[in-house]
Amino acid sequence: MSKKKQLFEVAEKETINQCLDRMSEAGYMPVRRMEKPVFEEKIVNGKKEHVPVKQTIVFEGRKIES
């Protein structure tokens, strides 16, 4: 039995449409889009701070029932 829900992250050099196509080929349809920040530790004014570097996009997919 396969999972009913699965997360699909948009890869580094992948478009959103390519990720959605990959979901469809795996038998899932998107039900939610999430954006998560990626932080990097940098020294700013002599203090260590977590600075946002980029956003990753993650889709939650639900299994398509046949």
pLDDT in tens, 16-63: 999 999 999 999 999 999 999 999 998 888 889 988 899 999 999 999
pLDDT of 36 reads 93
Exposed/middle/buried for 52, CB within 10 Å: 0-12, 13-18, 19+? exposed
CA distances (Å), 14 to each of 4, 20, 44, 51, in order?
Answer: 24, 10, 32, 24
pLDDT of 1 reads 44
Check pLDDT > 50 for residue 7. yes
Residues 6+ apart with CB under 8 A from 4: 62, 63
pTM: 0.77
Q: Tokens for 9, please give them.
A: 């992250």
